[in-house]
């Protein structure tokens, strides 16, 4: 991974959260790949009732634990989410948080050979309102290596050189983002619009210019002064080692004395019966559009058919817009979450059509799915369900299972990550029920969508009379309802 790509990833982790960064990087998730290999046996059933459990909980600290009983390899994955209560994550603080993570990574570089020789990978990256710290690999050396990581995190001896290098990394990431495909920008803007704890790349870049090394050290002090820490230990380690690592966290971060309670996350609930538009004026010739449909109640009754629709749309969009109409080389559909609220994004980028034309083409394919699905045989419909179910039950290694457990915990166990219930809903979903959902989704007067355009700055704004434009994002967020 190149430096620019690496730190673009860091930016995206900050503003997009765990599940969505692949979309910003222009990658279609495996769930929608028509040639995905579903032939390997699933390990889902073998371990379905043995989820991690809380083994320690005090003020400001919670540790989840599970000893692996499936893969039986001498490896462990440990995750900690560090969230400060004394820092309100505005654009400046979010930029500071990213800088802090980069400086920590720079300071860890001299120790990287020790981690490598021990067979352990480490990771420190920014999340919505704090840092994620993790270790992955051989079990035995992890407590010693965790102590080295924590020492670096709490140290206030970051040098001017490290600070300058970190700011340079962020600046190069911003320039790379500016030169990236318009589709990346419209995807990111969905999350920046709906999630009040995320900020656009432009806002982060503007804030970066004003930050000094003293500011960063002040931020570090505030960050560490009152923390909420949530962790997961999963793998070969026994409970005694997990408790030992928990003790390291509580001791070195002073959790017992300064532990915090963090208010819950909020996500904007799009008003019903309204289509909303965000417009990005860029210095690029191609035009990109994403149409985002948010669930109303975030229940499996909505989530499962919406995921199935997205899977079916992926090939339909490719065949019609890219192959038949040669509209552009980037088209697709994918689930997209703002924090833990689910939704579906359909998108396209074209060098020769206006944003409104692209939007109408996407909507035409979407509305055509009603007849397309009505004409499916029951066997064909079952095959679509089987493909989606197979993806959800596929698991490749211990790390994949650990990552899944950690996503559940970090996102507060959203319905779409409750595999057993999702699979049960897929099995029970009939073609008639799916068509009923689809008709309401496509044609109900109460439906609402968020549309984002990225177009050349010299293009005029053309919208229909049913669309409300979000000109001031701060005002929109301030007056919105939340889940």
Q: How far is 340 from 19, CA to CA, in rounded Å?
A: 9
**pTM score, two decimals?**
0.85
Tell me what pLDDT residue 85 has.
87
> Rounded to an integer, what distance in angstroms lies between the CA atom of residue 78 and that of residue 123?
10
CATH entry, 268-482, from 3.30.70.940, 3.30.830.10, 3.40.50.10860, 3.50.50.60: 3.30.830.10
Question: According to the model, what pLDDT value does residue 184 have?
Answer: 93
Question: In the prediction, which pLDDT does 465 show?
Answer: 66
Residues 394-415 have pLDDT tens digits of 778 999 999 999 999 999 999 9
Burial status of residue 221 (CB atoms within 10 A of its CB: 0-12, 13-18, 19 or more): exposed
Task: Render 110-137 in DSSP notation, one character per residue.
Answer: GGHHHHHHHTEEEEEEEETTEEEEEEEE
User: What integer pLDDT is reported at residue 29 of this predicted model?
Assistant: 34
Average pLDDT, the chain: 86
* 252 contacts: CB under 8 Å, gap ≥ 6: 147, 150, 151, 154
Q: Nearest Cα to 252, choosing from 340, 325, 152, 185?
A: 152
CATH number listed for the domain at residues 3-43+52-258: 3.30.830.10
CA distances from 383 to 308, 380, 390 (A): 11, 5, 10
Q: Which residues of the chain have pLDDT under 50?
A: 1-49
Q: What is the DSSP string of 217-237?
A: HHHHHHHHHSEEEEEEEEES-
User: What pLDDT is recorded for position 160?
Assistant: 92
Burial class of residue 464 (count of CB atoms within 10 Å of its CB; 0-12, 13-18, 19+): exposed
What pLDDT was estimated at residue 272? 80
Q: How far apart are CA 448 and CA 443, in angstroms?
A: 10
Q: Do 268-482 and 3-43+52-258 have the same topology in CATH?
A: yes
Q: Where are the domains of the chain?
A: 3-43+52-258, 268-482
- Report the candidate in 35, 31, 28, 32 with the shortest Cα–Cα distance to residue 329: 28
């Amino acid at each position: 991974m190149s430096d620019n790509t690496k730190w673009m990833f860091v930016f995206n982790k900050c503003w997009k959260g765990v599940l969505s960064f692949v979309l910003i990087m222009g990658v279609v998730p495996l769930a929608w790949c028509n040639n995905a290999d579903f032939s390997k046996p699933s390990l889902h059933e073998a371990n379905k009732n043995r989820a991690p459990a809380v083994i320690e909980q005090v003020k400001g600290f919670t540790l989840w634990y599970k000893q692996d009983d499936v893969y039986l390899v001498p490896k462990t994955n440990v995750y900690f989410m560090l969230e400060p209560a004394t820092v309100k994550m505005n654009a400046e603080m979010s930029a500071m948080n990213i800088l802090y993570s980069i400086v920590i990574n720079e300071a860890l570089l001299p120790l990287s050979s020790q981690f490598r020789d021990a067979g352990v990978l480490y990771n420190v990256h920014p999340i919505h309102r704090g840092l994620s710290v993790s270790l992955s690999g051989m079990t035995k050396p992890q407590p010693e290596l965790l102590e080295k990581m924590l020492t670096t995190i709490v140290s206030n001896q970051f040098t001017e050189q490290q600070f300058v290098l970190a700011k340079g990394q962020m600046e190069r990431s911003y320039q790379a983002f500016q030169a990236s495909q318009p589709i990346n920008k419209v995807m990111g803007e969905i999350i920046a619009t709906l999630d009040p704890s995320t900020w656009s790349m432009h806002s982060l870049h503007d804030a970066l210019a004003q930050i000094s090394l003293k500011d960063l050290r002040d931020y570090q002090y505030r960050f560490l002064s009152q923390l909420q820490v949530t962790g997961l230990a999963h793998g070969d380690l026994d409970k005694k080692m997990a408790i030992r690592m928990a003790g390291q966290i509580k001791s070195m971060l002073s959790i017992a004395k300064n532990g915090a309670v963090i208010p819950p996350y909020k996500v904007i609930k799009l008003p019903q019966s309204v289509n909303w538009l965000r417009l990005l004026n860029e210095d690029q010739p191609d035009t990109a559009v994403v149409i985002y449909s948010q669930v109303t109640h975030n229940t499996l009754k909505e989530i499962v058919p919406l995921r199935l629709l997205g899977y079916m749309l992926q090939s339909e969009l490719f065949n019609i817009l890219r192959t038949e109409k040669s509209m552009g080389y980037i088209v697709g559909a994918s689930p997209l979450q703002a924090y833990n609220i689910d939704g579906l994004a359909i998108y396209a980028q074209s060098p020769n059509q206006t944003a409104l034309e692209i939007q109408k083409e996407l909507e035409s394919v979407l509305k055509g799915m009603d007849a397309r699905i009505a004409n499916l045989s029951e066997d064909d419909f079952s095959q679509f369900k089987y493909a989606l179910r197979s993806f959800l039950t596929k698991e490749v290694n211990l790390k994949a299972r650990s990552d899944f457990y950690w996503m559940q915990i970090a996102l507060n166990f959203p319905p779409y990550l409750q595999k057993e219930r999702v699979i049960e809903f897929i099995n029970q979903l009939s073609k008639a029920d799916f068509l009923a959902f689809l008709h309401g989704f496509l044609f109900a007067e109460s439906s609402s969508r968020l549309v984002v355009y990225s177009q050349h700055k010299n293009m005029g704004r053309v919208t229909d009379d049913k669309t409300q434009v979000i000109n001031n994002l701060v005002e929109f967020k301030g007056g919105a309802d939340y889940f």
